[in-house]
Chain A
Amino acid sequence: MSDRPDPSDLATGEKPAPFWTRLSVVWIVPLLALIVSLGVAWRTFEDRGIYIQIVFPEVAGVELGKTVLKFREVTVGKVETINFTNDLSQVVVGVRVDNSVAPFIDSDAQFWLVRPELTTSGISRLDTVLSGTFIEGLWDAEIKFPATNFVALKQAPLSREPGSGTSVTLSSSDGGSLAEGAPVIYRGIKVGQLRNLRLNDKGPGVTVDAFIKSPFDERLTTASVFWDTSGFSVSLGAQGLKLNVRSLASLIQGGVEFTTLVSGGKPVEPAQEFRLYDDEASARQSVFSSSVAMPVGLSLLLDGSIQNLSIGTPVQYRGLSVGEVTALSIRAQPTPGGQQVFRQEVDFAVNGDRMGLPAGQSQDDVRAFLKEQVKEGLRARVSSTGILGGALQIELIYLPDAPPDTLNLSTKPYPVMPTVPSKITDFSKATGDVLGRVQKLPIEEVMQSTIRLLDSANQFIAKDETQQAPEQVVGLLGDLRAYVGKPSTQKVPEDLSALLTDLRTLVAKDAVQQAPEKLTKLIDDIDAFFSAEGTQKAPAALTALIGDLRDFMAKSGTQKAPDAVVSLVDDLRAFLAKDGTQKAPEELTALLTELRNFVASPDLQALPGTLRGSLTDLQSLMADLNKANVITHVITAFDNVSEAATSVTDATSGLPALVDAVSTMATKVNSLPLDAFISSASETVDAIGAFLRTDGMQNLPTSLGTALDALAATLKDVRDGGAVANLNAALQSAKSAADAVAKATDQVPDILTKIDDLIANINRTVAGYGSGSAFGRQVQDVLREVQRAATSIGSLAKTIERNPQAFILGR
């Protein structure tokens, strides 16, 4: 116990206060700090939003942590990650989206990159130059299937909101005049713009989307036509100078205008295709204006190469344009011989509606119709049109007598329409031919002949007798003038004309080429005639005949004959010496006087005037003659002559025999009792003398006088009668013809006046630049555009002034 150590003195004290009573109030501070920090951290985490991934083909300008996602120009997210897809071909951008919009980003959401665009219509998204590229998103307020993975659009969608407009597709052969963002104009108002200019997937040409804002898209129907209004057009016509500028923007960047020509179109469906025409005129004339009817494609295979056919060449059917050429190419076709033949292939399209088929026919219906028509003789051919025949068209015509053919509908790419040879009137070629013919005319020879003729005429005129002639001619002409002035005389040319016509038709019978042959043949025949044996012998026979004659003359009876003749002459002289006979010349003089009177009728004075008309007729007649192949007729004549010559030859083959016969006859005559004959002849002459001495014969001159009187009376009748009147009428008609020519000539001043008017118009137009004229208006429009642009720039400047940040940062 004792060694039990005493418990040491325990240090005792009061019980310490519980530790929380010793806690300092300051501990609240770190507690608060902790709470606040945690709160901030939690909020930060909570506000982080959702993470979505968008796949882009490329992300130029996108920066990690800087590039933002905007929705209606409000920043709603930021790029957090940028990665590649597994095949490294695309970029996956991870975006943290604010919670405020995150629920709305569903599978319908669209994303695209927004970059500055510098186009002719202006600079868009200039803010992105400074703020950098950003991603824009579009989604609606409906929450559908949530999604976090998206594929970005290549371009901003045209319609941001459903119902804000309609997008249609335009196809054109050439996109050179179109540009992204170019305006779509309807009656001069910009109603939309072009987007996504691209090459056509299906065929040649380009395709562009046209977005037409609401409510303008109500004007768009399936019957609308679109055309290119790029740039400006200047046309100088009878109405003056016309400058067409739609808008300043379209002048620079091109544009597209549309209108609805035909009523009854249906409302367009989204992305409906329309054709874009090169200009308004072709759009308005378009046969495919209504896209309701699908054009039916056809082909032509042409043997000859035909220039001037081009895309857009019209296809005519019963005088109406029903289609147009769509393509031109060359097609190689194997021939049965194994060779290849190359033919021009012309593809064209026709519109069934235009061909009279009821609307709404399918392409097959139209093809079936065409097949039926081809059976009935429908053929295609290329023909010329226009004044000079320079423009071509394809004609669908009915040729019932054409060789039967069918339309094979299964031919690719298009059924081949059977063709007939083309009918092309090439004006210039025809003119060239005419000139060539003129060149071939023997003008020089004609000139020489003319010169010779003139020389002869000179010589003739230089003669004294000729010098005296004019006086006589003057008198005669005076008479003639009177004669010709008669209406009846005027009818003569008509008759003459008719006569010539008859002559022409008569002559118009055979071919030209045979002429030389015929001539040769004629000459040959003549030659043959002369070289014939009989002909050769003829001179000898003649000699013999002459010898016989001489013998005959030597006969005594013959010697006496002259005496008888002398007495006969004496009788005659006695007859002539008779009073009646002496009076005959006087009668003749009277006759001549009548003739003069007849000629001296006043109607003759109309002659010179009418003569000109006659000459005109003659000219036209000559032209007709030219046309009517006179040479052919001449050749026919030659032919006939040849035939005649042949007959002569045939006939002359018997000539020697004839000469022989004559010779024999002469011999026989020689042997005749000619003495008796001569005496009888003498008696005969005596008898004649006795006859002349008879009373009746004495009265003959009186009868002759009477006859001449009658003739004079006849001539008088002629003068008084209708002949001259007729001639006059003919000359009158010639005159009217001349009048017509004169009238035609009168139109020359008219034309000049019109040209004058045109120039005056141009003057007026130029003078009216200020106002009123189309040009002036257009210039005013342009100025208005400029003014509008200036106003916009002014307001922009004001905006910048007020809020520079907005300009630069696009806030």
Chain B
Amino acid sequence: MADAGRQAEFLTAREAHLVGCRTCGRVWPLGTTLCGRCGAKVQSRETGSLQRVWAWLLAGLICYIPANLYPMLNTDTLLEQSQNTIIGGAVDLLKHGNYGIAIIVFVASVVIPIGKFFAIAYLAILIANPRRPGGRHHLKMLHVVEFIGRWSMVDVFVVAILSALVQLGTVASIHPGPAAASFALSVACTMLAAQSFDPRMIWNDRITATP
């Protein structure tokens, strides 16, 4: 095993029969259930973590469907009333030659959420599989997903800011569509899904791999 050598380089807390408090960082011997310092619950591996990941991921996915089908923005201008979905808006921008903004919108609203879905699902499947190549890059992946997840809210913020700013009465006004809420829910759900991960589980294989 290519990783085996590298894995051998460090010792996990569990292997050392220790458990760390994720709240205050104090290390306790394995079996401790409550942190003596901060009173938080201490678990070596959070049970049900994967379940929660899947649940949140599923909720995010479900929310993501109406977020793409319903209009994101209701734009009332003097002459017309238009409703744009996420993809429609990006396509409109593209048509008008605003490639940069179109790419930003597309990446923020489509690529990142979908990428997150896949990344989280991938990680969740990996972790569930006891014989998997371990490690570090999975952790990195998780960190990236956690970091990027919040930026997906850009869309929602844009909608919120536009709705607040562009209220010029009859000339132009923008109202958030139903998609905005569901998109925000979707992003929130995926963020929760990413957070539900117990990163320590990435190292679980070592338990089973090394008897």
- A interface with B by C-beta (< 8 Å): 22-24, 26-30, 32-34, 37, 40-41, 66, 130, 132, 804-805, 808-809
Contacts and interface: CB of A to CB of B under 8 A. Distances in A.
Contacts of B47: 22
Nearest to A66: B80
B110 interface: no
A33 B52 contact: no
B23 interface: no
Nearest to A808: B170
A130 B51 contact: no
Contact of A26 (B55, B63, B169, B185): B55
Interface string B195-206: 010000000000
B72 interface: no
Contacts of B51: 22-24, 26-27
Given A24-B48, A26-B51, A40-B66, A805 B59 contact: no
B78 interface: yes
Given A66-B80, A66-B81, A804-B170, A29 B55 contact: yes
Contacts of A26: 51-52, 55-56, 196
Contacts of B63: 33, 37
A809 B55 CA distance: 47
Contacts of B48: 22, 24
B44 to A, nearest CB: 17
Contacts, number: 57
A543 B52 CA distance: 185
Contacts of B58: 30, 33-34
B56 A29 contact: yes
12 contacts: A22-B47, A22-B48, A24-B55, A26-B52, A26-B55, A29-B189, A30-B58, A30-B61, A33-B62, A40-B178, A130-B78, A130-B79
Contacts of B178: 40
A29 to B, nearest CB: 4
A809 B185 CA distance: 34
A805 B182 CA distance: 31
B170 A33 contact: no
B154 to A, nearest CB: 22
A24 B59 contact: no
A803 to B, nearest CB: 10
Residue of B47, B55, B185 with most chain A CB atoms under a 10 A cut-off: B55
A30 B170 contact: no
Interface residues of B, number: 24
A29 B59 CA distance: 6
A804 B171 CA distance: 10
Contacts of B56: 26, 29-30
A24 B46 CA distance: 12
B65 interface: yes
Interface in B37-67: 47-48, 51-52, 55-56, 58-59, 61-63, 65-66
A37 B55 contact: no
Contacts of A24: 48, 51-52, 55
Nearest to B186: A33
Interface of B: 47-48, 51-52, 55-56, 58-59, 61-63, 65-66, 78-81, 169-170, 178, 182, 185, 189, 196
Given A22-B51, A26-B52, A33 B78 contact: no
A809 B66 CA distance: 30
B170 A805 contact: yes
A641 to B, nearest CB: 110
Q: What 4 pairs across the A-B complex have the smallest Cβ distances?
A: A30-B58, A30-B59, A26-B55, A33-B62
Contact of A804 (B80, B81, B169): B169
B52 A37 contact: no
A370 to B, nearest CB: 68
Main secondary structure on chain A at its contact with chain B?
helix
A733 B178 CA distance: 116
B66 A37 contact: yes
Contacts of B81: 66
Given A29-B59, A29-B189, A808 B78 contact: yes
Given A805-B169, A805-B170, A33 B196 contact: no
Nearest to A803: B170
A335 B189 CA distance: 105
A24 B178 CA distance: 29
A42 to B, nearest CB: 12
Contacts of B59: 29-30, 32-33
A410 to B, nearest CB: 67
A33 B182 CA distance: 9
Contacts of A40: 66, 178
A27 B55 contact: yes
Nearest to B49: A24
A147 B52 CA distance: 53
Contacts of B55: 24, 26-30
Contacts of A28: 55
A808 B169 CA distance: 11
Contact of A37 (B65, B189, B196): B65
B3 to A, nearest CB: 26
Nearest to A811: B170
A468 B175 CA distance: 133
A34 B170 CA distance: 37
Nearest to B182: A37
Contact of A809 (B170, B189, B196): B170
B64 to A, nearest CB: 10
A37 B169 contact: no
Nearest to B55: A26
A647 B135 CA distance: 173
A37 B62 contact: yes
A808 B66 CA distance: 33
A666 to B, nearest CB: 143
Contacts of A66: 80-81
B94 to A, nearest CB: 20
A805 B189 CA distance: 40
A362 B170 CA distance: 65
A808 B76 CA distance: 13
B62 A34 contact: yes
A37 B78 CA distance: 33
Contacts of A804: 169-170
Given A30-B61, A130-B78, 16 more contacts: A22-B51, A24-B48, A24-B51, A26-B56, A26-B196, A28-B55, A29-B56, A30-B59, A33-B58, A34-B62, A66-B80, A132-B79, A132-B80, A805-B169, A805-B170, A809-B170
B50 to A, nearest CB: 9
A37 B170 CA distance: 32
A761 B24 CA distance: 113
Contacts of A27: 51, 55
Contacts of A29: 55-56, 59, 189
A22 B66 CA distance: 30
